[in-house]
Structure 1
Amino acid sequence: MNMAERDQDKTRVPRQRRSVETKQKIVAAALKLFSEKGFHATNTKAIAKEAQVAVGSVYSYYTDKMEIFKDALALFHEHFSEILRSHGALRLNASQNKRELIRDVIETVIKAHEVDPGFHREMNIMALSYPEVKDMAEKELRFFFKMTARLLRSWQPEIRIRDPEAAATVIILAANSIVEAVAFGGTGIGRERLVEATVDMLHHYLWPQEASQAIDVSPETE
């Protein structure tokens, strides 16, 4: 047994209620500190202090800080996904206003991104250097692809899409950077303008005929 295996053997899987709660406190504290200070500026002692547990308690569950970060990332994804899963606009009916439906979905995704902007940014930074973090982030992205594809399939034959899986990938990749710009800022363009432009883009992509008919006459042409 090598050193890493011995260290792993020393950690324990929480089974008792108090043990589970202690580990949850550690992960929640780590998520908060990673969000505020970043991974590299946070040490195990600070995590223990924030969680109000002994440093030894942290090491009884984790061999190193990266293991804590991965659990914090899993908790972040859980919070992020719960907002999307609880979203009500998962089905389309003929009487529904398509633009308002798209706007509702976009606002929900923005809300999910705003759960913890600091940790979201740290996750993106960490994914560039740590393959295990990148793998976890990509796994979560695939969940969004599948969820969007299911949403598109539930809208057929109302929409023009023939390949929901490919369309879902296009929509997520195109909209994700826009949504992040809205949630995190930095473009110099206001939130409402960015949301409106995204609604226009997706409306024309999914319902091109309806979108073309709905274009208002501009003041210059009246």
Structure 2
Amino acid sequence: MTETENETKIRIPRQERSIKTKEAILQAAMELFSEKGYHGTNTKEIAAAAGVSTGSFYSYYKDKRAVFLDSLTIYFKTLLGRIETYLAEINFSTMDKHEFILEVIDSLIFSHQVFTEFHKELQVMYHSDPEVQALMDEQFDLGRRRTLEYLLMNPEELKVDHVEAASIIVFEALNSVVDMLVFAPQNADADQLKNELAKMIVNYLYK
């Protein structure tokens, strides 16, 4: 079957059974990508893990890359959703800022650990697949905007000169240290690193 023929036969699930089938394929793919990596996984394995035939897989996705891109979208939604759920429960007027930053760090670490190998694959594919790069850049930009929105909730407490620039610095600092803690653990104590990062961000941002 050619790629063009495959694309014309892709099914858009509307009935509950079809929706659940596609969700099962997507979930199986994410687990396999996390466990074996993108290049170590094939469509036959994904179909088997989802409990469907290979032909059924191709009814929903034209190839492995298509389900990977869907997985990437879900991965970022899950990551952002976890942070936003936590933020929705916070009383920003009474919160302990140091404890708040520590909670954000732990939430990011947890979200990264769920799909460790999947995340590692993203780092490789970012530089080899323009569509993956575009999706990741879009999510990073969203993360920076969310950070800016958070800082603008209490601008009178900030001591930085340029809030937008500060939001980028904070976002990148969090991402860099979390990536290091999850994917390249150091000899230093993880709790000490998290505590110092939280302290650095609080001292940098607030009066």
TM-score computed with the length of structure 1 as normaliser: 0.85
**How big is the shift at 1:192?**
0.6
Q: Say if 2:95 is the partner of 1:109.
A: no
Match of 1:218 in 2: none
**How big is the shift at 1:91?**
4.9
Match of 1:83 in 2: 82
Contact 1:148 1:168 (8 Å CA) reproduced: yes
Identity of aligned residues (%): 34
1:1-222 equivalences under 5 Å are: 4-88=3-87, 90-93=90-93, 95-207=94-206
- How many residues align? The count is 205
Higher relative contact order (CA 8 A, sep 6+): 2
The one-letter amino acid paired with 1:92 is: F
2:34 aligned counterpart, secondary structure: helix
Could you tell me how far apart the structure 2 residues matched to 1:101 and 1:55 are? 46
TM-score computed with the length of structure 2 as normaliser: 0.91
Match of 1:212 in 2: none
Check 1:72–1:138 CA distance in 2 against 1; reply closer, same or farther (3 A cut): same
Provide structure 1 residue ranges, at least 5 long, that are not aligned to the other structure: 210-222
Could you tell me how far apart the structure 2 residues matched to 1:38 and 1:105 are? 27
Contact 1:81 1:112 (8 Å CA) reproduced: no
Contact 2:102 2:194 (8 Å CA) reproduced: yes
What is the CA deviation profile of residues 184-208 of structure 1, one whole-angstrom value per residue up to 9, with x for unaligned ones?
A: 342221211110110121122112x
Provide structure 2 residue ranges, at least 5 long, that are not aligned to the other structure: none
The one-letter amino acid paired with 1:13 is: I
Could you tell me how far apart the structure 1 residues matched to 2:91 and 2:184 are? 30
2:67 aligned counterpart, secondary structure: helix
Larger CA Rg, structure 1 vs 2:
1
Contact 2:105 2:194 (8 Å CA) reproduced: yes
Could you tell me how far apart the structure 2 residues matched to 1:24 and 1:169 are? 34
Could you tell me how far apart the structure 1 residues matched to 2:20 and 2:116 are? 25
